[in-house]
Amino acid sequence: MPETRLPGTPPPAFPAKAPQGAGWLDHGFHVDNHSHTDGQLVYPASGALATTTEGGTWLAPANRVTWTPPGFDHSHRFYGRTDVRLVVIPAHECGALVAHPSVFAVSPLLREALLALTDRPETRPGAHERLRAVVLDELAAAPEESLHLPEPRDDRLRAVTDLLHADPGRAITLAELGRTAGASERTLSRLFHTELGMSFHRWRTVLRIHHALVHLTNGHSVTDTAMACGWSNPSSFIEVFTEVVGQTPGRYQADVRQG
């Protein structure tokens, strides 16, 4: 997905310590590469969020929360008008979570705890610390549901993924891509597995789901989204979207509108 920035809207200047709070960001807002000394959870209560590191891009719709441990350089992009919730996890508490960037499913309790942490000031000593403990307990039990799109280092594989990024809906085979990149289908297939940890088909599916989430967040219909992102019919798109995202595209879009 191309990085975009709204004209005249500079990225916030984040301090070394991760910010915490809530706010609305417009579609296309981009936060430049930065890192924090503490861990950070970013929850899009509505809209969608992409977090990018050198290891690839993690996408979170409104039923997921992104996790970035301390010290990881990362940037953010926002899709749709996004209700952003930022929660700091102090460095000494980060051992309770995985040591790599990820995306977690958001349970009803986790959602309410994240909203409470970012909606209101602390009225009793230790209240936020107790709420943060609830968040950590919920995340420890939540499955990692990473809509993670890893990016390659191999030049041949990068040439292929660049072509797919430019037109994710294009119907093209790995053999055809290989002829453009100067590598055989077998070599590219091996590189997808060894370098990216997934097949060519799976990588392209996740890429298309990333784009589909953006299309749906921007108000495009399920049918138009399916066609634009490379599915031959809406039924097959709905099936794959539901398997990857955990809800139907119609339900996802209804949640976006409600938010």
Question: pLDDT, tens digit, for every residue of 138-174?
Answer: 998 887 766 889 989 999 999 999 999 999 999 999 9
pLDDT of residue 73: 93
pLDDT category, 18, cuts 50, 70, 90? low
- The answer on pLDDT for 259 being more than 80 is no
Task: Show the tokens assigned to 193.
Answer: 């597995």
- List C-alpha distances in Å: 147 to 26, 96, 105, 178, 216: 22, 21, 11, 25, 16
CB contact set of 247 (below 8 Å; sequence gap of 6+): 63, 255
Q: Once rounded to an integer, what is the mean pLDDT over residues 7-22? A: 52
pLDDT category, 120, cuts 50, 70, 90? confident
pLDDT of residue 4: 32
pLDDT of residue 113: 94
Give pLDDT tens digits for 174-217.
999 999 889 999 999 999 999 999 999 999 999 999 999 888 88
Q: How far apart are CA 192 and CA 224, in angstroms?
A: 29
pLDDT of residue 14: 40
- The answer on pLDDT for 258 being more than 60 is yes
Do residues 121 and 81 lie in contact, with contact meaning Cβ atoms separated by under 8 Å?
no
Question: What secondary structure, in 3-state letters, does the chain show?
Answer: CCCCCCCCCCCCCCCCCCCCEEEEECCCCEEEEECCCCEEEEEEEEEEEEEEECCEEEEECCCEEEEECCCCCEEEEEEEEEEEEEEEECHHHHHHCCCCCEEEECCHHHHHHHHHHHHCCCCCCCHHHHHHHHHHHHHHHCCECCEEECCCCCHHHHHHHHHHHHCCCCCCCHHHHHHHHCCCHHHHHHHHHHHHCCCHHHHHHHHHHHHHHHHHHCCCCHHHHHHHCCCCCHHHHHHHHHHHHCCCHHHHHHHHHHC
